[in-house]
Each structure stands twice: as structure tokens, then as C-alpha cells.
Amino acid sequence: MAEASGKRPALHQRVVIHAILAGGALFFLMPLVWMVTTSLKPLSQTMRHPESIGEAFLGTGHTAEIGGRTHDVVLERKIDPTPESRVFIVQPLQSFAAGELAIPLGAEMLREDSVFNKREMNVEVTPEMKVLADDKNRFDPVSGRLALVSGRTVPARLVRTIEPDPDGEQLWLVREWRPEDTDSKEIGSTAGDVSRAWDVLPKSKLRKCIREIPQNYPAALRRIRFGRSLFNTLFLCVMTVAGTVIASMLVAYGFAFIEFKGRNLLFGITLATMMIPFPVVMVPVYLLYRELGWIGTFKPLWVTSWFGSAFFIFLLRQFFLGLPKDLLDAARIDGCSELEILWHVVVPLSRPAIAMVALFTFLGTWKDFLGPMIYLNHQSQFTLSLALQAFSSEHGGTPWHLLMAASTVVSVPLIILFFATMKMFIRGIAMTGMKG
């Protein structure tokens, strides 16, 4: 009734409608919000159940005072000293290789291909450093000898005996955390660097803090070889968009304005090709490209776009039919060829529809995963979507913080492009298929 009388809906109706729309928008934005917030967290917190609403969206960490200085720290492991299992902090009186200690492999020990680096493994433990002595690095306070896992013993001086906390608090081994640790496969453990500040502290001495890690982004982009993958993707986008737009315009113009025998039949066959699922033709097309020697090249991904797209041919034809034919007839009287009419008359009047075709093609090529996965063999040829998949599959455990950082960077251009072309996109959708 409100529409029929031309009156606006009542205020309470508008409030309800806008609330529903805003709620729906927020719901569909949640995956994007989760992706962005996860990209700024440490790995240890990406898949952990948050203890509060704040921790669901913000990365958290700990700070502690070690040696009179406040450090960002990671919690290595709990320490539970007992009379049967004594724990000491000792200072060795002679140097030895860090590889002789029983310490977990940490961030400083890992490199890009996650193999041991002998130079780092044999970094020197000097007498100025402290060592945690427990069941693995055994210390005998009577003889003052520290037994290493290598079987060698070195003299050591007792610095502190770790006793159970009198208040019953849990003791933690904490180590200095640095932003570059985000580039490690096993984020959170820094024990491989014996020069890092560390201590055993009760939980009350640890203070929670917000820890956002923008360093995840450069680390992730290095891992997926972003520059090369971006170049490959943009090359395919440019070639595919150009081919689809040009070929679809030519074919659509022919179906819309050029009279020839069998035109309607050919147009029907063109539309019928849209009914064929890709899995049906995937193997025959692959065999054809293999015979042409195109497997392992970009050609299968862009050459066919220069033959047009049935869907976009249909859209452009419907748009062309809505153009004033008097303009085309006037151009023919002035001696223009059909190509000149297309370029000088039809294209300027069809910019919204052409922009929509280009936008859809760009988005589809940018996000395409199946095509590159089938036809590309070498890592130097990977597109962004394929590089993301390869990055997530090459690790035993997916580094979600880095994967989400790379995914955010890959998604941002699409979001910017959509908002930049939104008005033209909506105009193209509204005008396509309308006849004048």
C-alpha cells in the first residue's frame, strides 16, 4: 500500500529493514574480519579457543621482567620441580656448542626449507650465558658438573635453584620474543637461540598484552613469492580480459545487427554450449592441449578467451539490441563499415555493459584455481591462487597466520576494484537486456 500510494514506509518499518540488512552485511563480513584479525596473530593463537571477546579479534602475548629489563616473551613450557626432579639455573665455566644441549629446536634454527643449519646448531654457549639444568641437562651440585646430551660434562656454577612456588603458582620457562619469529615454521618457540633472554617465573610475574604482528605480511609474501605470482596473475588477467571483451563484442554485434542465414540457429548453439559442464570436456581439452604442446605454458589459460564467452556474448547482444538502430543506419549512410560502426557508435554507447564484462572476467581470472592447477607445472608459473594453495600444502601444519596474511593481500585488490567500479557495474546490470 505504501508503494502504491507513493508514501515512504513508517519509521519503525525502515528501522527494522535497515537493522536486518545491517545484520546480514555484518554476518557476511565475518569471514573477512576473521581473515584480517588472524593475519595479525601469532601462530599459537590462530586456532585456539579465545578466552574473551577481545582475544577473538586481537592477538595477545605476555611481557615479563628479565634481568632488570622488560621483554616480550613466549611461554616455552611449564616447570614442575620436585625433590626427585630438581631444576637449576647454572652458568657454565667453559664454552661449548649449543647443539650439545637438550633444547627444543626454535625459530633461530629454522630456515626457508626447514632443515638444520649446522652453523646455528653449533653456536657457542659462553660462560656469560645461563643454562637450564633439569632431567635432560643434568647438573650435580656436589661436583659442580653439567652433563650434556652429547655425553660430555663441563664445569658449571650454580646460579639459582628452582623451588616450587610457596603460593602454589605454576612456574613457566619464558624466553624473549622478537617480531622476526613470525617467519618460523614453529612459531612460539625461541629456545634455539641461546643468546635470548630467559628465566623461570611464576605466573603472577607475567603480564598479558596485545600483540599484533604486522611482520606476518612481509613474511607471508616472501613465502608465496608474491612478486612473481602477481606478475603471472596480472598477465593472465590482461590477456583474458582483452580477448574476452574484444571477441565477445565482435560476435555479439554480428548476432545483434548483421542479417545472415542461420543466425538464430548459431546463436542457439552458442547458448547451448553454456549447458555443458566443464568436467565433461576437461579431459578431452587437456588431451588437445597436450597434442599442441601447450601443457606447462600459459596458453591454455588465455588463448581460448580470444574466441569469446557464450555468457558474455549473450549479455552484450541483449544490450546492443536496446541501442537506437537509427544511429547505426545513419553511420551506414555516411559510409562507415561494420567495424567502424562497432568502434565509433556501439562501443561508446555500451561502456557500462563492456565494463561489466571486463570486471567479471578479471575477477574470474584473478580467483581461478582449477585452470592453473591443471595446466601449470613449475612453481615460477604459479598464479596467486595456486601459490596460496602450494604454500598451505607444503607445510606439515598450516601456518594459518601467514596464510591469512597472504590471502588478505590477494583479496584487497578485488575489494578495491569492486568499490571503484560499483556504480558502473550496477548501471550495466540495470541496462543489460532493456530495449529502447
Residue 302 sits in a domain whose CATH number is 1.10.3720.10
Domain shared by 277 and 412, yes or no? yes
Instruction: Look at 70-84, 178-192, 201-215, 376-390 and tell me which has the smallest mean pLDDT.
Output: 178-192
Pair (184, 65) in one structural domain: yes
Domain end, chosen from 195, 212, 229, is at: 212
Residues 351 and 391 grouped into a single domain: yes
Q: Is residue 157 pLDDT above 90, yes or no? A: yes
Highest mean pLDDT among 97-111, 189-203, 380-394: 380-394
| Residue at 56 is within a domain | no
Would you say residue 51 lies in a domain?
A: no
Q: Mean pLDDT in the chain?
A: 83
Q: Are residues 196 and 296 in the same domain?
A: no
Q: Given 212, 243, 264, which residue is the final one in a domain?
A: 212
Is 50 inside a domain boundary?
no
CA angle, 232 as apex, 374 and 222 as ends, to 5°? 100
Judge whether 178 lies within some domain. yes
Beta-bridge partner residues of 410: none
Residue 190 scores a pLDDT above 60: no
pLDDT computed for residue 368 by the predictor = 92
- Is the pLDDT score of 128 beyond 80? yes
pLDDT at residue 392 is higher than 90: no
| Mean pLDDT on 82-111 | 72
> Are both 200 and 230 inside the same structural domain?
no
Digit-coded pLDDT (tens) for 38-93: 888 887 778 777 777 777 788 888 899 998 899 988 888 888 888 778 899 999 99
Which tens digits make up the pLDDT trace of 257-287? 988 898 999 999 999 999 988 889 999 999 9
Share of the chain above pLDDT 90, in %: 34
Strand-pair category, 198-202 with 207-210: unpaired
Strands 171-176 and 69-79, sheet pairing? antiparallel
434 pLDDT more than 90: no
Q: What is the pLDDT of residue 252?
A: 94
Whether residue 109 is predicted with pLDDT greater than 60 in this model: the reply is: no
Q: What pLDDT score does 430 carry?
A: 60
427 in a domain, yes or no? yes
Residues 212-241: pLDDT tens digits?
Answer: 888 889 988 988 899 999 999 999 999 999
Q: What pLDDT, on the 0 to 100 scale, is given for residue 429?
A: 61
Question: Would you place residue 99 in the very low, low, confident or very high pLDDT band (cuts 50, 70, 90)?
Answer: confident
268 and 226 in a common domain = yes
H/E segment holding residue 72: strand 69-79
Is residue 400 within 8 A of residue 388, CB to CB? The reply is no
Q: Is the pLDDT of residue 189 over 70?
A: no
In a domain, 43, yes or no: no
Q: What is d(CA 176, CA 73) in angstroms, rounded to the nearest whole number?
A: 4
More confident position, 166 or 286: 286
Q: Tell me: pLDDT of 298 over 70.
A: yes
Question: Nearest Cα to 315, choosing from 427, 431, 435, 432?
Answer: 432
Same structural domain, 360 and 225: yes
Stretch 386-412: mean pLDDT: 84
The reply to whether 315 and 332 lie within a common domain is yes
Question: 226 with 205, same domain?
Answer: no
Do 271 and 410 sit in the same domain of this protein? yes
* Strands 153-162, 96-97: pairing kind: unpaired
Predicted local confidence at residue 179, as pLDDT: 76
Cβ atoms of 127 and 95 within 8 Å: the answer is yes
* Confidence at residue 116, expressed as pLDDT on a 0 to 100 scale: 37
Answer whether residue 115 shows pLDDT above 80. Answer: no
Does residue 188 have a pLDDT over 50? no
The number of folded domains in the chain is 3
pLDDT at 105: 41
Alpha-carbon distance values, 18 to 11, 29, 371 (Å): 11, 16, 40
The reply to whether 78 falls in a domain is yes
Are 161 and 241 part of one and the same domain?
no
The mean pLDDT value for 321-340 works out to: 88
Task: At 179, list the grid cell.
Answer: 617480531
Count the Cβ atoms, other than its own, within 10 Å of residue 309.
Answer: 25
Q: Of 212, 247, 282, which residue is a domain's last?
A: 212
pLDDT at 122: 57
pLDDT above 60 for 436 = no
Residue 180 has pLDDT above 80, yes or no: no
d(CA 70, CA 79): 21
* Confidence (pLDDT) at 395: 59
The answer to whether position 156 is within a domain reads: yes
pLDDT tops 70 at residue 28: yes
Residue 170 DSSP label: P
Task: Dig out the grid coordinates for 106 from the structure.
Answer: 626454535
Three-class SS of residue 340? helix
**Cell digits for 21?**
540488512
Say whether pLDDT at 112 is over 60: no
Question: What is the domain extent for residue 151?
Answer: 61-212
Based on the domain organization, do 207 and 284 belong to the same domain?
A: no
